[in-house]
A and B are shown apart, each in its own frame.
Chain A
């Protein structure tokens, strides 16, 4: 391996100008490409499309819309909607929403849609009509009174009209493809239209507009994600200051930052070239790439400085740094890449995108920071004054390293290992309690105080319906809704589900048919049953249009819609388990109760996918790290010393998630893989020196002290830099970025501590024959 390094060293440093020129050309090209990159969000990326539930969802999405709806609640601040201004606004909102590109026009529903009708029972039958008659004039108080009466007769209070009559709802379903272009719908553009054309245009001191739904949520996330530029600037400033304190040289500060920045440019350019956009949910990745780049840059500075103290010129120092860091740095970055790549096993589009984005970014760092950086540094002038400044620092830190190296002394080592074992047991216990999915009401990506979540709370408060619903799709044969037995099974199944804690209420064609049947019998609730007579049953069902979302064209598919009290993972699990238990009693060859559609159906699938992905993901990431360590150190003991602390820290991170009530979701799942992938760097850098020294006959203590002197400050510094960089996310307006920030800060810091405290203690025990005492 060293011959390859040697060859590369000669090849690169003999052609420094060419190398720099090549990098410059590529950077220019990819810089142009990266300027073309755009924010990109889609609903389907966020869901596990191959999950069994989502297969059902996709199969019936055309008939029942899906989970991708938009709810617009128009509220009158006076608390009463019956005035001309309100009704005019509501009509405008309805029309405006209708004409927004990407809205399924057949499924826009409000008081003003013709499908919103009332019926009443009169002597001899039904009377009915549209809730808002064709000749409606909002200026006429009598017309408003009539609409008020019709609303009550139509039985839509709590659904289309707020229970306290202060708001009315316009709902729409979104298409997956833009009907004009046939391209996937630009969710962010749509969200912007919702904001500008609805809220911007119609919200004023009398009317408030509340918009919820996935599209709006992701739009708000994208808006929040734009703050990332600000956080990037702060992180850049802090990092620059810290690198300066570390290197005591402006040039040595500028170079690693520049190279890391180039890595980000390359990454974005490559993504754009590959046809990817940046998803708001993974906008933090460039950040991470920059931080990782800096941390490896610092190792490089460190190595150059160390050599310069020894009296070597800049070029020699840079060549030495290149030679000595190419392997450990390469291995470390490769394991980062592999760590990210393991995320590809998770069958959720957005996580795969994150895996690709991140692994490209990290792979690029190998080029920018392990090749370009030493080449650039070889042009530096390291004068004596500077070297002297650095020497002083070295002498000062020696005492500190001597103190730290006592971690590998017998007694401290045992103490450390005992504490680590205790932490592991505690962590394992706590991590068992870790919750899957979203633990809080509203959109988990956003803070509770965000407008979006406030709107969600308002809508769930003012209306009886909830946006948290799960549809069980009853799949049967054509015209099955005219079969008493089928409908009876659906009705019985629905009743059992209504009795499951967490289900607030339920609706299906069967339950509506019963109400209609009572309607046909003069509204007498004693007739609220499914008629055994087929003609009577047909008559009842004929009054339910397919636009109700309760049946498809030939009623071979009928959803049972379960409205849930919340979307906490345990509620979802309980309800899904109940569906699986109860459906066994009713299923036949021609009658299947399939999970699932609706927003909670999507969550159920996502939760299951995330839960099922967790263990394989950990296995793969650790497998990859172990393999790479074995390859580079060719020592089981060295591998154990690196991997065990990592494992403890990842368990502790899960315990932290339990403690902070952070659920395992699409956005937090990758964090542990990222943390392990990056966390392994510290151990690899320390152990690469140690194992070299150990092979040359040093004791563990000596080898560790040498490693600390050589790499310790860089490791310490790297951990802090990375942690500071991600800790700024705690102030993000996006809840998931905050969660990721907390978890990554924890993983970076504690992994660093693990590498300089637990690793030597482990080494002390594993190389027990190589000790001074």
Chain B
């Protein structure tokens, strides 16, 4: 009697482990992959808890992780790697991706994290849908929620204040649904940049505790923001829209004539910058960026891109989500998996 019971217990444990662990899939390199980062090694994350590690950028090994949630973002500092994603999942590895532990998870929130970044090994933020914003000061042992009303435009803030004056509970409810999706946080030289839903662009000089909104004449979503140099800031987003800001002046429009949503900015060198997007779109922009007067909502019929701007599609036309340079190669993560990008 004892033996079958033990066997049953073992089976129960093994299926429990199985249910949590990511399935080691032969086709993992062709699955939906959503973020990439590189240090000593390349780390890629994607659907179903897929994490791929590579030290040469060519052969990838799938890590065994304690989640099957779709992971949307990854960041690393030395041997520490954090990955975040759906079900508000955050997992962490302290040994370069060999072993992983679950730091945070909240499926009931029904909200995904969309980006994660760390200022140092202790202090980091994870951001996501409906302004979801979590901070840790202890390397991820504890994650605490914050709400940044300063990301909202003045009209929305005014409205919220009115609501708050009448009903605090309703205010919280409204706040939970009115805050924009935060699609990206980019840390460059102690300044944190943020791109989000409905024309949200912002920066923070105090590690994201307070935010200053950029005013841009566009209400579509932005998916990436990145400074190209000390005086130039680039933002890309929905339907192929690209805006550039120089010397803290106005955001200006860059005409590409492509309507594919752009997901990420890839900085190749001082001469050229690339914007990567859906339908396998690779938009190449020569610097300095040419700007033009153009209605960003218009359809590009008979459109001529600005000089120095060209858009092309990669052969398989799969959405390119992000890319990273590694050992002389440009490795992209796409809806069809890993792809080596030839940008020339």
Could you list which residues of chain A lie within 8 angstroms of chain B, going by C-beta atoms?
120-123, 492, 495-496, 498-499, 501, 521-529, 531-533, 536, 585
Contact = CB atoms under 8 A, between A and B. Distances in A.
A121 B112 contact: no
Contact of A527 (B18, B107, B112): B112
Contacts of A496: 23, 25
A585 B110 CA distance: 25
B261 interface: yes
Given A524-B221, A532-B87, A585-B15, 9 more contacts: A121-B239, A123-B219, A501-B26, A521-B181, A522-B238, A524-B261, A525-B32, A531-B110, A532-B107
Nearest to A515: B335
B66 interface: no
Given A123-B239, A495-B48, A498-B27, A525 B321 contact: yes
A529 B112 contact: yes
B335 A528 contact: yes
Nearest to A526: B72
Given A123-B239, A532-B110, A526 B34 contact: yes
A615 B70 CA distance: 49
Interface string B81-115: 00000110000000000000000000100101010
Contacts of A522: 197, 221, 238, 261
Contacts of B223: 524
B220 interface: yes
A525 B319 contact: yes
Interface in B7-46: 15, 18, 23, 25-27, 31-32, 34
Contacts of A531: 110
Contact of A529 (B15, B86, B238): B86
B47 interface: yes
A121 B220 CA distance: 11
Nearest to B128: A526
A364 to B, nearest CB: 58
A522 B239 CA distance: 9
B333 to A, nearest CB: 10
B335 A122 contact: no
A492 B48 CA distance: 9
Contact of B27 (A499, A528, A532, A533): A499
Interface residues of B, number: 37
A529 B25 contact: no
Nearest to B260: A523
B256 interface: no
Given A123-B239, A523-B278, A529 B47 contact: yes
B110 A528 contact: no
A526 B110 contact: no
Contact of B25 (A120, A495, A526): A495
B119 interface: no
A721 B340 CA distance: 67
A493 to B, nearest CB: 11
Nearest to B299: A122
A528 B32 contact: yes
A121 B87 contact: no
23 contacts: A121-B238, A121-B261, A123-B238, A123-B239, A123-B297, A492-B23, A492-B68, A495-B23, A495-B31, A498-B27, A522-B221, A522-B261, A523-B278, A523-B319, A524-B183, A525-B32, A525-B321, A527-B112, A528-B70, A528-B335, A529-B47, A531-B110, A536-B110
B114 A526 contact: yes
Nearest to B319: A525
Contacts of B220: 123
Contacts of A526: 34, 70, 72, 112, 114, 321
Contacts of B114: 526
A71 to B, nearest CB: 24
Contacts of B110: 531-533, 536
Interface string B289-332: 00000000100000000000000000000010100000000000
Interface centre among A496, A524, A525 (most CB of B within 10 A): A525
Contacts of A495: 23, 25, 31, 48
Contact of A122 (B31, B34, B239): B239
Contacts of B48: 492, 495
B238 A499 contact: no
B261 A523 contact: yes
Contacts of A528: 32, 47, 70, 335
Closest 3 CB pairs of A and B: A526-B72, A123-B220, A532-B110
Interface centre among A496, A532, A533 (most CB of B within 10 A): A532
A660 B54 CA distance: 47
Contacts of B47: 528-529
Contacts of B72: 526
Nearest to A120: B259
B142 to A, nearest CB: 24
Interface centre among B18, B86, B183 (most CB of A within 10 A): B86
A501 B86 CA distance: 29
Nearest to B87: A532
B194 to A, nearest CB: 16
B14 to A, nearest CB: 12
Nearest to A498: B27
Contacts of A498: 27
Nearest to A533: B110
A565 B167 CA distance: 61
B130 to A, nearest CB: 12
Given A496-B23, A524-B183, A529 B261 contact: no
Contact of B34 (A523, A525, A536): A525
Interface in B59-78: 68, 70, 72
Interface string B243-269: 000000000000000010101000000
Nearest to B86: A529
A528 B183 CA distance: 14
A729 to B, nearest CB: 44
B101 to A, nearest CB: 22
Nearest to B35: A526
A241 B219 CA distance: 92
A552 to B, nearest CB: 27
A495 B22 CA distance: 12
Nearest to B220: A123
A528 B72 CA distance: 10
Contact of A499 (B25, B34, B239): B25
A528 B48 CA distance: 11
A224 B48 CA distance: 51
A570 B95 CA distance: 43
A123 B299 CA distance: 12
Contacts of B27: 498-499
A10 B86 CA distance: 94
Contacts of B263: 524-525
Contacts of A585: 15, 18
Contacts of B259: 120
Contacts of A524: 183, 221, 223, 261, 263
B214 to A, nearest CB: 18
Contacts of B18: 585
Contacts of B25: 495-496, 499
A122 B296 CA distance: 11
A676 B297 CA distance: 78
A120 B221 CA distance: 15
Interface string B268-287: 00000000001000000000
Given A121-B239, A495-B48, A499-B27, A525 B87 contact: no
Contacts of A533: 110
A585 B11 CA distance: 12
Contacts of A536: 110
Nearest to B238: A522
Contacts of A492: 23, 48, 68
A562 B267 CA distance: 40
B262 to A, nearest CB: 11
A525 B335 contact: yes
Contacts of A527: 112
B26 A525 contact: no
Nearest to B27: A499
